[in-house]
Amino acid sequence: MNVDTDSELITHADVVIVGGGIGGSALAFALANAGIDTVVLERQKSHTDRVRGEVINCWGVREARELGVLPILEDAGGNYANRFVAYDETVSPEHADSVALDVGSMLPDIPGVLDVGHPQACAALLAAAEKAGARTVLGVEDTVVECGPRPVVRYNGPYGERTLHARLIVGADGRVSATRQQLGVRLTQTPANSLGGGLLVDGVDGWRQDTSGIGTEDDLLYFVYPRANGRARLYLLHSPHQRGRFSGASASKDFIKAFQFHCIPNSSEIFGNIRPASPRTPCAFFPMNDSWCDTITRDGAVLIGDAAGWSDPVIGQGLSIALRDARLVRDALLAHSEWTPDIFADYTAEREVRMRRLLLSGKVRTAMSLTFGPYGRRRRKAYAAAWPKDEILAGSRLATFKGPHNVAAESFESEVIEQIMQLGS
């Protein structure tokens, strides 16, 4: 439904959210559900596969529940995996199976990690937001925001140029956020730690639907995230120096060919007949890095999700981050009648700690899983032996499942991270 017709012109709203991805549409649902007059402006006319994240880790599942969007994500085709297995060149499959993580018991009442198609999730959340009373405009272009005591958003919609007055603007427009730039917020990015890409495939035969997988072999790190009926999202990551390794017309074919790992038992049967989920399914690679902003609030505006700075996707946290951001912004708006920038002080402070911890978790994951060759194998083996016996060493790893706020702060102290980095040297 598009309500921005000439006969039903939107001119005012309490909250205007620029970007109807995971963060923006989840927030729109939660605000509309709480009776706040909300408009979402989304650039796409319909959500398409842009090779974005699809695995919501356990702590993100909890955030989705807190926001009230969990049933929507489950109904959008979400599949829970309660087991995480590391078939890797450094261990036998039997050993990997025997030490597989029980991610279904990481947090009370959370059945595991939830894998759900990104376009399906966004579309279902936006539809639910509309049902709850939010107004959405799809296919918008040229959004321009002005913050201050009387925030304004101008955009070009399907029915022409529009001006929208709001009490608050939320920038939820992803990595290349125009809203962030227009608010004059500075983004700092780290160099790419690796290049990572994904392909949605059908025809996976014999991989357990309750199990997600990770492993390194030769010069590739892989992930397997299964859904129903032989569908899975596969990811591959490689050195940033191999730009273009999977690109051009043969990208999907080369990706599928590479997905024959000796360390995965029965790999040739499981992945022997996989194919892209549709002829138009993209196979795209992105730099895997971290970023942060000098501020995430302005008078009359706040940023959430990737627009506010992202975590290296190597640890698959972006969806959980966006959902927690949405929840904290909703809670701040509901708790205060005056929406001054101060109401986001707790959100800002919490996010800074959260993102710093996740940056360190990503650093550990990159060091352990994307250092190749004999040294990499030594490191990985030493780490696999060390962390399960030491709660503090385990913290940066378990944070990716439980949430960075649910493990000991000590796990992120520089001496502890350095101790992990020295393993196997």
Which residues of this chain interact with ligand FAD, rule CB under 6 A?
Answer: 18-24, 41-44, 51-55, 140, 143, 172-174, 178, 196-198, 286, 305-307, 310, 313, 316-320, 322
What secondary structure, in 3-state letters, does 291-356 show?
Answer: EEECCCEECCEEECHHHHCCCCHHHCCHHHHHHHHHHHHHHHHHHCCCCCHHHHHHHHHHHHHHHH
Q: How far is the CB of 20 from ligand FAD (least distance, A)?
A: 5
259 near 222, Cβ under 8 Å?
yes
Query: 91 vs 329, which CB is nearer to ligand FAD?
Result: 329
Rounded to 5°, the CA angle 343-170-144 comes to: 130
Rounded CA separation 162/88 (Å): 54
Query: 151 vs 316, which CB is nearer to ligand FAD?
Result: 316
Q: How far is the CB of 354 from ligand FAD (least distance, A)?
A: 13
186 near 291, Cβ under 8 Å?
no
93 phi-psi bin (left φ>0, alpha ψ -120 to 50, beta other): alpha
Which burial class, exposed, middle or buried, applies to 403 when counting CB atoms under 10 A from its CB (0-12, 13-18, 19+)? buried
Q: How far is the CB of 286 from ligand FAD (least distance, A)?
A: 4
Q: How far is the CB of 320 from ligand FAD (least distance, A)?
A: 5
Residues 6 or more apart whose CB falls under 8 angstroms from that of 388 comprise 99, 394
Q: How far is the CB of 266 from ligand FAD (least distance, A)?
A: 24
Query: 55 vs 103, which CB is nearer to ligand FAD?
Result: 55
Query: 73 vs 140, which CB is nearer to ligand FAD?
Result: 140
Query: 143 vs 411, which CB is nearer to ligand FAD?
Result: 143
Query: 90 vs 216, which CB is nearer to ligand FAD?
Result: 216
Q: How far is the CB of 237 from ligand FAD (least distance, A)?
A: 9
Rounded CA separation 306/28 (Å): 16
Q: Which helix (H) or strand (E) holds 102?
A: strand 101-102
Q: How far is the CB of 27 from ligand FAD (least distance, A)?
A: 9
Q: How far is the CB of 355 from ligand FAD (least distance, A)?
A: 12
> What residues form DSSP beta bridges with 154?
144, 163
Query: 21 vs 376, which CB is nearer to ligand FAD?
Result: 21
Q: Which helix (H) or strand (E) holds 417?
A: helix 414-422
**C-alpha 149 chain-centroid distance:** 32
Query: 140 vs 234, which CB is nearer to ligand FAD?
Result: 140
Phi/psi for 275 (5° steps) reads: -150, 155
- Name the 3-class secondary structure at 13: strand
Rounded CA separation 40/20 (Å): 6
And the tokens for 266?
Answer: 């029965």
